[in-house]
Amino acid sequence: FLNKLSTELIRHYDVICLEDLNTKGMLKNHKLAKAISDVSWSSFVQKLMYKAKWFGRKIVEIDRFFPSSQLCHACGHRDGKKTLDIREWTCPSCDTTLDRDINASKNILIEGLRLLKQQP
């Protein structure tokens, strides 16, 4: 499954932006460990990396400390840390309702494209 999915993503996208997650640290959280192990995140990222080189695509890794889930992707307001049980929030600055994961993914894309422009 991971081979098929990574190949499909690499063939369809020239640039993929990923958050550099501390998977070893996350595995220490007993509530997250099984889910993280089940999806084999580090193996999936490895497959994306070598296939990106093979197909001439770009992988942009975002620093693990980038506050992707704290920023409103619409206006940039930083609302601070939230516990994992908060899945949706409303930006107090622009009133946009944000899904935690979708908002974080948009912020990762925005930051990844910004970093890509800075590369020589």
Per-domain boundaries in the chain: 1-64, 66-120
Q: Check residue 22 and give its pLDDT.
A: 63
pLDDT score of 33: 63
Collect the ranges in the chain with pLDDT lower than 70: 22-39
Q: Which helix (H) or strand (E) holds 88?
A: strand 88-90
pLDDT at position 39, please?
Answer: 63
User: Which residues, in sequence order, are bridge partners of residue 97?
Assistant: 90
Rounded-to-integer distance, Cα 36 and Cα 39, Å:
5
The confidence score (pLDDT) of residue 28 equals 67
Residue with tokens 């070598």: 50
Predicted local confidence at residue 43, as pLDDT: 86
Q: Is 36 left (phi over 0), alpha (psi -120 to 50) or beta?
A: alpha
pTM (2 decimals)?
0.83
- Helix, strand, or coil (residue 73): coil
Q: What integer pLDDT is reported at residue 29 of this predicted model?
A: 66
